Amino acid sequence: MREIVYLVIAMSTLCSNAQQFTVFYKDKRTAAKSKKKQSGFITSVSLSESALPENDPDSLYVDVRRRVDSLKKIIVESEKYDFDLENIPEYEYTTVLKIDGRRSLYYPQEKVNNDTVMKQVTTKSGHVISKGLINYYDSEIVYIDLELMKKISSLRVYIFDYRMRSFLIDENMKQQDWEITNEHKKIDRYVCHKAILRNSDIPVEAWYTTEIPIKHGPRGYWGLPGLIVELKEGKKLLRFDKISFFSDTISIKPPTEGTQISREKFLDLPSKLFYEDN
């Protein structure tokens, strides 16, 4: 009985606040990784051996030749040392969905910084070899306006771009083709129904509740008869954490950070950046 009263009060508050409320989600993520291994003294040798005369004892090239030989030995020795780094484990990630009627803003609750794991070993000859593992964290901010059918996203995707750049995509929204199934389950206090997105390159499964008749959801998903409470993209599961109906007046503004780019060019970035970096 208390739960019913609480839900009635919450829904009344939702209507009186012009449908302003905040939803929190949690998921477990693994950082993208970039590995580096190098000797503390040298990474490459580019001198031409044919340009180093061996017979002139007073020649500067003799000393250079000795240095090159020494560096080559270090390289050979360093190749014998291969060691593993400890991976940074999965981390729990909290994201927020703010809703104000026909507009919503989805963003990370806290700014996530990149982590670096370093390890060093000393060879028998005393040279230091270091190996590093940089853990990159993706981030996304998605603004949706259902009245204007506009979607603005600020994205950082380190899996293919390690330059810490943000990209801003301003686009018209496309209808999402949902298939509503007969499956249902309870998530927290809400009865939820399962829907499957048809027009998607990856399997997308959403659980929504008609108890909160809002067509918004996390990560830019929308269009169902109720709030998306749980979302599964491929193997990634975004779980419902909590909802706040009693927040202050919500200010929702589209993101502005990032280099302006179209969705088509953004999807083509991995191959473009590969050729830039090689």
pLDDT in tens, 25-66: 998 877 666 554 444 433 443 444 444 445 555 555 666 667
Task: Read off the pLDDT of each residue in 5-22 and give the average, rounded to a whole number.
Answer: 53
| Beta-strand relationship, 259-260 and 167-172 | parallel
Task: Read off the pLDDT of each residue in 234-257 and give the average, rounded to a whole number.
Answer: 85
Least confident of 146-150, 202-206, 248-252: 248-252
Which is more confidently placed, 116 or 16?
A: 116
Which is more confidently placed, 6 or 243?
A: 243
Mean pLDDT rounded to a whole number for the chain: 76
Question: The pTM is what?
Answer: 0.68
Phi-psi region of 234 (alpha: psi -120 to 50; beta: other; left: phi over 0): left
CA angle 54, 59, 60 (to 5 degrees): 110
Rounded to 5 degrees, φ, ψ at 111 are -70, 130
Q: How far is CA 242 from CA 13, 94, 178, in A?
A: 16, 11, 25
% pLDDT > 70, the chain: 59
Which is more confidently placed, 56 or 138?
A: 138
Phi-psi region of 46 (alpha: psi -120 to 50; beta: other; left: phi over 0): alpha
Which is more confidently placed, 51 or 138?
A: 138
pLDDT of residue 169: 94
* Confidence tier at 14 by pLDDT (50, 70, 90): very low
Contacts of 161 (CB under 8 A, 6+ apart): 269, 273
Write the pLDDT tens digit of every residue in 163-220: 667 889 999 999 999 999 999 999 999 999 999 999 898 999 999 999 999 999 999 9
pLDDT of residue 10: 46
Residue 50 token pair: 């044919």
Compute the Cα dihedral for 227, 230, 235, 236 and give only its sign: positive
pLDDT of residue 109: 85
Domain ranges of the chain: 2-30+104-112+139-277
Q: What is the largest CA-CA distance in the chain?
A: 99
Task: Read off the pLDDT of each residue in 64-70 and give the average, rounded to a whole number.
Answer: 72
Helical spans, DSSP H, in 38-191: 60-79
pLDDT at 3 over 80: no
pLDDT of residue 42: 38
Which is more confidently placed, 115 or 55?
A: 115
Q: How far is CA 9 from CA 6, 191, 210, 244, 245, in A?
A: 5, 17, 16, 13, 10
264: DSSP letter: H
